[in-house]
Structure 1
Amino acid sequence: MLFLGMGNMLGPALAFVVGGALFTAFSGTLDLPGVTLSAWCETSLVFGILSAFAIFGQLTIREPARHEVESANAGLGAMLKALGKRWKLLLLLFVGQISVIMADAPAGFWAVPVMQRDLGLSVGAASGLLGGMLLVAGVLSPVISGRVADKGHKSSVRGGILIGAVVASAIGVPAAIFPMINSVPAFAAILFLLLAAGFITGLITATAIAALAPNEERGVCLGAFMILGALIGLGVSPCL
């Protein structure tokens, strides 16, 4: 989970860093050959082409053999029924983590415009700063999450695997004051705390599901977790 989470965090970080650099370049003298578009459109086009190549690469990956499976032919209905037996645990995990996503997603979306409009940074500088924060958080958060989750899971404390998520949430709540800060260094430091705390809670929650849900039910559970998080956190929250 640590290495998977690290990749998931580094992707958006590099998107901001590389995207900001490309936008700055396309706003100047650089242009794609044979293309007459705005800097935003050219930047998106470059990422679109790179994404297409990444998709083709995924077609060559074979699915690994499944292990620890008790009911290999069970349908979706059976999986949902099995998950229903754990509804108390899963409901609390879903509500807690989706609440964190609702705070983190708008912060990531709106931080660059806020730094540009209120703090006087250029688009390239604001994107680079946010990308740098995500890059550092994307390396540190999975390492912290993995170690804390392992120690909590091995402890005698009931629900110990989630202790780190509770602590990270307690740090993240007061860090939500970052939009009120007028100093760039303080703004960046407090926003970094918010994003890092959100990454840690998300990774530990996913680790808890992987550790506590049986193998054949894990995919459905994580899938529902990701879909609800995307719909609410990425779709609804930034508009709110």
Structure 2
Amino acid sequence: SFSAVEQRNPAANYHKMSLDELKKEIPGIDWDAFLNGIGVKGVTELSVSQVEPIKEVEKIINSLPVENQIAYMQWSLIDRAAGYLSDDLVAQNFDFYGKTLSGKQANQPRWKRAVSTVNGVLGEAVGQMYVEKYFPAAAKERMVQLVKNLQTALGERIRNLEWMGDSTKIKAIEKLNSFYVKVGYPDKWRDYTGLNIEKDSYWANVKRATEFELDYMLSKAGKPVDRDEWGMTPQTVNAYYN
């Protein structure tokens, strides 16, 4: 697989190909069965971030005994669930991933882990409550206007640059005008109606939330990019360019 530096290179991790090309490139995996199994229908093109690691997976699938593959899948499920099960399993999970791999001395208190899970699963729902309490619409309007003023000022600076050629200025202004500003919180909140939260089991709720998120992502397959969708929640302290 790529190094950490290579993984941060968007161009190196974008390999668009047709489904037929993928089948020819990596024929040892039943791609139709895989896509149907996760609920993807009608996809003819896709982007494969890294081709070589998938070829290695292909070799493993076609050489490792089926019983070993089943054992690995069972272990993967337990490993995925361990942080949401009994105190003993949570402690063992942290002992490896927290202490051994990350060098942490102590796990976070249970309440912090629970809040983090809710924030991760229901990020925009939590964000909506946060905005209602701490972020009035007038504050957002002021910040949006501030950014517009900055864009106007930057446009004037670009036009007056002596060292930049006219053709380059045109491209720079086009890029500036294409800048899609998002401030504070989305204009339309995400709908969590289909997510079923029960008091039966912590892990069961996490599992349902994972399935809900997968269905949400797959529902976007083959559709135009929604530029109004947010990649972070309002309560996340960060600024980013995507």
Normalised by the size of structure 1, how large is the TM-score?
0.27
The structure richer in helix per residue is: 1
Rg: which structure is higher?
2
